[in-house]
Amino acid sequence: GTDAHDLCEYKVLRALGEEVKDPTENLDFFDTEMADATDEYCSFVMEQYEKARQHCRDPLLLVEQRLDFSKWVPDGFGTGDCLIISDKNLQVIDFKYGLGILVEADNNPQMMCYALGAVDQYDCLYDIETVRMTIFQPRRENISTFEISKKDLLHWAETVLKPTAALAYDGKGEFKAGDHCQFCKVKATCRKRAEYNLDLAKY
């Protein structure tokens, strides 16, 4: 996944005309499948960028952008694979190289957090009204897009995300086990997950 993201960054920057070093020879897991998947991603990003240029003279395309959403989530930050910001519009594109799990953009909390970080940083320049979030998962032939108004995104952030994050940060709130546990760093010692697995075994 890391190798694929490095290759994506290189290809998009090269397509924009920047002088960047080809990382291919330093990648541990490079193969033709990765080459094809990252080509598809680059083509999609540039296609979206051209669409933005049709209604904005100076759209901004950023790759591997650090996004700070700590206004709503304590110590919250992440890295956006690609941002395309134009007059009244923000598009967040997330590249998923994984094959095992199909990832959807619809009300995806990670994508919405990234969008919040981008809105917080760039709204003053482009007066953003609409936010589009896209999951690009080529090995699953999955391009999933979710659109929301900036107003509704901020409402979710204040009424759902912020109070929930505050509880989690204080070690409070309700633990919920499920398929998402596979991404958790403490899954091996989580009591709630153990209870959940025991219930499954009994069933």
Q: Which of 94, 84, 68, 72 is nearest to 154 (CA)?
A: 72
3-class secondary-structure state, position 173: coil
Burial 14-35 (b: 16+ CB within 10 A, else e): eeeeeeeeeeeeeeeebeeebe
- Residue 100 confidence class, pLDDT cut points 50, 70, 90: confident
Averaged pLDDT, 18-40: 92
Q: In the prediction, which pLDDT does 186 show?
A: 63
pLDDT at 195 over 80: no
Q: What does the CA dihedral 30, 33, 39, 45 come to, rounded to 10 degrees? A: -100
Share of the chain above pLDDT 70, in %: 87
For residue 171, is it left (φ>0), alpha (ψ between -120 and 50) or beta? left
pLDDT at 202 over 90: no
3-class secondary-structure state, position 8: helix
Q: Which of 15-19, 29-33, 77-81, 191-195 has the lowest mean pLDDT?
A: 191-195
Identify whether the C-beta of residue 83 lies closer than 8 Å to the C-beta of residue 120. no
Work out the mean pLDDT of the chain and round it to a whole number: 89
106 Cβ contact list (under 8 Å, min separation 6)? 144, 146
Q: What does the CA dihedral 85, 91, 96, 102 come to, rounded to 10 degrees? A: 180
- Residue 200 confidence class, pLDDT cut points 50, 70, 90: low
Measured CA to CA, the distance from residue 152 to residue 158 in angstroms comes to 10
Q: In the prediction, which pLDDT does 107 show?
A: 95
Measured CA to CA, the distance from residue 116 to residue 188 in angstroms comes to 31
- Give the full edge-to-edge strand order of the sheet including 142-149: 60-68, 77-86, 89-95, 130-137, 142-149
Q: In the prediction, which pLDDT does 125 show?
A: 87
Q: In the prediction, which pLDDT does 196 show?
A: 61
pLDDT digits (tens, 9 = 90+) for 121-177: 999 988 999 999 999 999 999 999 999 999 999 999 999 999 988 887 777 767 676
3-class secondary-structure state, position 62: strand
Taking CA atoms, 127 is separated from 56, 67, 158, in Å, by 12, 18, 20
Q: In the prediction, which pLDDT does 161 show?
A: 95
Measured CA to CA, the distance from residue 107 to residue 133 in angstroms comes to 9
| pTM, rounded to two decimals | 0.84
- Residue 27 confidence class, pLDDT cut points 50, 70, 90: confident
